[in-house]
Structure 1
Amino acid sequence: MFDDVQLRRAVALRRDLHQHPELKFEEHRTAGKVAEGLRDLGYAVREGIARTGVLAELDTGRPGPVIALRADMDALPIEEANDLAHRSAHAGRMHACGHDGHTAALMLAAETIMQCREHLSGHLKLIFQPAEEGGNGAERMIQEGVLDAPRVEAIFGYHNRPGFESGMLFVKPGSAMGGNDTYRVIVQGRSGHAAMPHLAVDPIYVGTSIVQQLQGLTARHKSPLRAGVITVAAFHAGDAANVIPGEAELLVNIRNDGDEVREALAGHLEQVVAGVCNAHGAGYRIEQLHHVPPLVNDPEWSELVLKVGRDRGVARRIEKVDTMPTMGAEDFAFYLREVPGCFFFVGNGEEGAYLHNDRYEFNDEILPVAAGTFVALVDALMGQEA
């Protein structure tokens, strides 16, 4: 499907992006290279969507479906520990999740798709999205109309997955990645002397009680057949050994595999906090800091990805999995709440560091599998013999 020149060019782009990582909503260089490359290929290109996003469109002029493919572009605020020729040239920033590879794969697919444009019908949108890492860039892109005019009928994206066989293509129909809710909980006590706790309201004691009670939600409110977890990721209070502080701050992260579990966990957060605080005469304040819905693949489109992959031989091993491969969140979920589609996975290799690790490295050998799946989907859905 791809010749050696194309693959070398894709690897060179991937490594260039890796060497020049940019954080959420700062992907100016990346977006510029993407936009320039897509214009050179003949796509109609819009820049500056959701600040640094890029939308490329191919209108074949023939009636047919409206299909979208998406890649994310942002890096993470991590100092790279790899000793690579193309290691990050910017202190404190690296592509520790493989978005450099996601971008390079879609650019590789874009080239082959354009070469086949005379055999396609319908309208294709290529979405290069900023700020997947904590910025809800997908939500911003949707708000700024990337799915509209013409309205997208199906959307596809992918993520590399360390710990799985290199180049393995796999799909989880239904719930495939976790929803993510992050809250700041402020426990408002009353300051006092450590020797006279009865004259104070100890927010540390109240806060630790909240930590314990929250785990009861996962144990007794969530079905054991569903996935969900509550993590208190930070607890800050006080700075003197003989003083009971006036406040304590907790950062609470709640993961879920669907709306039912989200309601069982996040839906009862305030009830637990209020109950514990009221029992001890403390006040509280809860602020929601971040929300990403669970990523739920459409079963029919998931089966299509598997069928197309097998029919066109895009990978040596293609599997449908029954269990969620991760509770990590992915803002592609926002697209799937608007239109049906599928977010598939490509194994990054069974060895090597996991995502968001300072020694993570995208496996360039999987570029033709990811890009090939995109091309195969476009051919199957937009090909004039489809």
Structure 2
Amino acid sequence: MLPVAAHRRALHQIPELDDRLPETCAYVRAVLEPLGCRITTPIPGSLCAFFDAEKPETTAFRADMDALPVTEATGVPYASVHPGRMHACGHDGHTALALGLAEYAAARLSQLPRNVLFLFQPAEETTGGAERLCATGILDELHVTRIFGLHLWPGLAQGQVFSRPGPLMARSSEVTVTVTGRSVHLSRAAEGLDALAAGAEYLRRAYAAADALPPEEPRVLRFGRMVSGTVRNAVSGKTVLEGSLRTYREETHILCRERLESLGRELERETGCALEVRLSQGYPAVWNHEGLYETLRRCLGPEAPVPLDVPVLAAEDFSFYQKRVPGVFFFLGVGDTPELHAPEFSFNDEAVLPAGLDFLKKLLMME
């Protein structure tokens, strides 16, 4: 049985993307098979391990396995051997923790208060593997009544677990605005329809609309990419704005979406350009079940998570599980490290992961 940090380092070397995770799944399966659990693959790139303790209810633990299209710059001896791919978001740590917990559960099957299901899922970073895994019906089939997950988190105290009841992470949607005008030479600018000017005005008004929401409704709307035109001496015939909308409450998200769409219609009338405003489905908000949170806070006492004062505006597809069953998500602090998704992201796995595993063991044995 390897230390949990050893699992993490082995996984760190073989990062894979989306739901194409053959090496990762092979590693996870090799660890799970001797443990006597039932292993299934409900969707491509997934592995689910069920430990049957002959109890009426099941506790689930989620681990995401996919990596990012990032070129690693950590310099660690166990760096990625796959060029242009890296576990820059800590999913190798999440998977390693689940493997360590599965080994612990297998050795105490008769003592478990509930059956246990481990969900090793793909595509958290891309298409929302959690949603597709939920759609298979596995949570209902195996009588899952609660689910837990965590994420490594820079800037929080190393080895400590943090959380809060209610909103923890944001509802997200990707926003794409396509402005179609009419390109003409600048000498005949009055005959054109300036897609660049219309796009810039859309950006200005969209930011103003988001800033006008009540301050007690945390949200962010920002566009990180704007592409327009072909040459400097022609009116732009097309502009594309790409950004992201983050909120917590669905009502706020709907309000923002309606305002973004109405801005498009306003500018169509004013400029003559055609504006298409599209928002992706995105991920729901990670909203920790208040009753389950209170149960674990009471059961764990002084070992309960450190309370977070405010939620964060990052997003996570763990929220799809919480739409089906009561669930609580946690942050496991990694201290002062580079940001998630950075090529330099690394952490002290020998300190952080054993502390995280100790916490997960308490959740596993919680009545």
* Short-chain TM bin: over 0.9
Aligned length: 366
User: Residues 269-308 of structure 1, C-alpha deviation per residue, up to 9 Å, x if partnerless?
Assistant: 1111111222111112233345111111111222333344
Contact 1:138-1:332 within 8 A present in 2 as well? yes
Which residue in 1 is equivalent to 2:92?
Answer: 100
For residue 11 of structure 1, report the CA deviation from its aligned partner: 1.4
Q: Which of 289, 306, 322 does residue 319 from structure 1 map onto?
A: 306
Q: Which of 125, 134, 146 does residue 133 from structure 1 map onto?
A: 125
* Percent of matched pairs sharing the same residue: 31
Which residue in 2 is equivalent to 1:298?
Answer: 289
Which residue in 2 is equivalent to 1:168?
Answer: 160
Q: AA paired with 1:355?
A: L
Question: CA–CA distance in 2 between the matches of 1:371 and 1:64?
Answer: 25
User: Residues 306-334 of structure 1, C-alpha deviation per residue, up to 9 Å, x if partnerless?
Assistant: 344446x48xxx4112211x211100011
Which residue in 1 is equivalent to 2:105?
Answer: 113
Which residue in 1 is equivalent to 2:50?
Answer: 57
Question: CA–CA distance in 2 between the matches of 1:146 and 1:363?
Answer: 35
Residue 333 (structure 1) aligned with residue 319 (structure 2):
yes
Question: CA–CA distance in 2 between the matches of 1:297 and 1:214?
Answer: 30
Question: CA–CA distance in 2 between the matches of 1:235 and 1:44?
Answer: 49
Q: AA paired with 1:292?
A: Y
Q: AA paired with 2:341?
A: H
Residue 283 (structure 1) aligned with residue 268 (structure 2):
no
For residue 35 of structure 1, report the CA deviation from its aligned partner: 1.8
Which residue in 2 is equivalent to 1:14?
Answer: 8
Which residue in 1 is equivalent to 2:248?
Answer: 257
Q: CA RMSD in A?
A: 1.6
Question: CA–CA distance in 2 between the matches of 1:159 and 1:187?
Answer: 38
- TM (normalized to structure 2)? 0.95
Q: Which of 341, 347, 355 does residue 356 from structure 1 map onto?
A: 341
For residue 146 of structure 1, report the CA deviation from its aligned partner: 2.5
Which residue in 2 is equivalent to 1:153?
Answer: 145
Question: CA–CA distance in 1 between the matches of 2:97 and 2:179?
Answer: 47
Greater shift, 144-153 or 101-110, is seen at 144-153
Which residue in 1 is equivalent to 2:26?
Answer: 32
User: Residues 189-243 of structure 1, C-alpha deviation per residue, up to 9 Å, x if partnerless?
Assistant: 11112122221110000000000000122222x2201210111121111121111
Question: CA–CA distance in 2 between the matches of 1:193 and 1:165?
Answer: 58
Question: CA–CA distance in 1 between the matches of 2:6 and 2:243?
Answer: 41
Question: CA–CA distance in 2 between the matches of 1:24 and 1:362?
Answer: 23
Residue 80 (structure 1) aligned with residue 67 (structure 2):
no
SS in structure 1 at match of 2:9: helix
Q: AA paired with 2:317?
A: D
Q: AA paired with 1:54?
A: L
Q: Which stretches in structure 1 are left out of the alignment for 5+ residues?
A: 1-5, 382-386
Q: AA paired with 1:42?
A: G
User: Residues 59-112 of structure 1, C-alpha deviation per residue, up to 9 Å, x if partnerless?
Assistant: 112x33221111100100000111110011111110001000000001111111
Q: Which stretches in structure 2 are left out of the alignment for 5+ residues?
A: none
Which residue in 2 is equivalent to 1:384?
Answer: none
Question: CA–CA distance in 2 between the matches of 1:75 and 1:246?
Answer: 37
With over 3 angstroms needed to count, the CA separation of the structure-2 counterparts of 1:74 and 1:356, relative to structure 1, is same
Which residue in 2 is equivalent to 1:240?
Answer: 231
Matches within 5 A, 1:177-192: 177-192=169-184
Which residue in 2 is equivalent to 1:3?
Answer: none
Question: CA–CA distance in 2 between the matches of 1:116 and 1:223?
Answer: 51
